[in-house]
Amino acid sequence: MASLCSMLPELLCKFPAIDDTTIRTARKTIDDGFKGFVRAYGNAIDSLVQPLQWFLNFLEGVFVNTPWIIILAAMVAVVYAGSRNMRITIGTALAMAAIGLVGLWNDTMITLAMVTVCTLISILIGIPIGIVMARSDRAQGIVNPILDVMQTMPSFVYLIPVVMIFGIGKVPGLIAVVIYAVPPMIRLTNLGIRLVDKEVLEAADAFGSSGWQKLKNVQMPLALPTIMAGINQTIMMSLAMVVVASMIGVGGLGRNVLQAINNQFFTVGFLNGFSLVAIAIIFDRTSQAFGRRLQKHSEVIHG
């Protein structure tokens, strides 16, 4: 290869990269502009997201300060109501009991509060955007590339702008988790609505349904199983991102895993990892079972 390059012009052997001075100047201009934006609007942005801090602190307080037996009973009741499966319900009770026995109950409650808030925010953001995408090919063409970037960007990269704007703390971690976890919610909402049978929509048109009535009474109910799959994926991605977000001040199990990595504590890392896996399995099995029930119900009504 060396002899071949020696025979060809330098332009063909060495990629014509932009010179370092131009790149440094461009980087400095962008970084300075972003820092200037943060200095100018940082306080306003902090005030805007303050309700998230209050809600997260409130939910953490409820989960951590409520007696464990009440939280466990509530979780078991929710899991049974969603899944109607005794194996999943008993497995939930045993897994949460095991987490409590190894002394990770409070950290698990903090993580549950974070995942709950992130999931709720992702649903509130994702469903409306998914509906807009489903109703407009142009909107889908604009949003899809953005979602591609959000899903392929390394998760650590999200932390840089978030920390620059908000600093270290729970809210920056929450925002980073939402950015990472919301794309499946948007995509599957869009997909679910687009997959609704055209004949059903034509029947709704024949009965004189407006666009809002079709969305509310036909498309959303039929798309609900797919939307539930989106919620499932959002929860899984939130749990995956919690460990990364612990680098900027998010507490709970993620922080313990990070400390275990830094100090090479195998047992601590394993126990906290087991707790995260247990929560993930509980959410996954419950939401999947609930989605299957919705699917059967939909088939009975519209089959």
Please give the pLDDT value at position 221.
83
**Nearest Cα to 268, choosing from 105, 96, 103, 111?**
103
Instruction: State the angle between helix axes of 266-302 and 68-83 in degrees (0 to 180), rounded to the nearest 10.
Output: 40
* pLDDT, one tens digit for every residue, the chain (303 residues): 456 666 656 556 666 667 778 888 888 888 788 788 778 877 777 788 888 888 888 988 898 898 989 999 999 999 998 888 889 899 999 999 999 898 888 888 988 888 889 889 999 999 999 999 998 889 999 999 999 888 888 777 777 777 777 777 788 888 888 888 899 999 999 998 888 888 888 787 787 777 788 888 888 888 888 888 888 889 888 888 877 777 777 777 777 777 777 777 778 888 888 888 888 888 888 888 887 777 676 655 555
The Cα 87–Cα 65 span in angstroms is 29
The Cα 160–Cα 115 span in angstroms is 21
The Cα 38–Cα 25 span in angstroms is 20
Hey, where are the domains in the chain? 26-302
Global pTM value: 0.83
The Cα 214–Cα 217 span in angstroms is 5
For 2, half-sphere exposure in the C-beta direction (CA atoms, 13 angstrom radius) is 0
Angle at 231 between CA 225 and CA 236, to 5 degrees: 130
In CATH terms, is domain 26-302 a member of 1.10.3720.10? yes
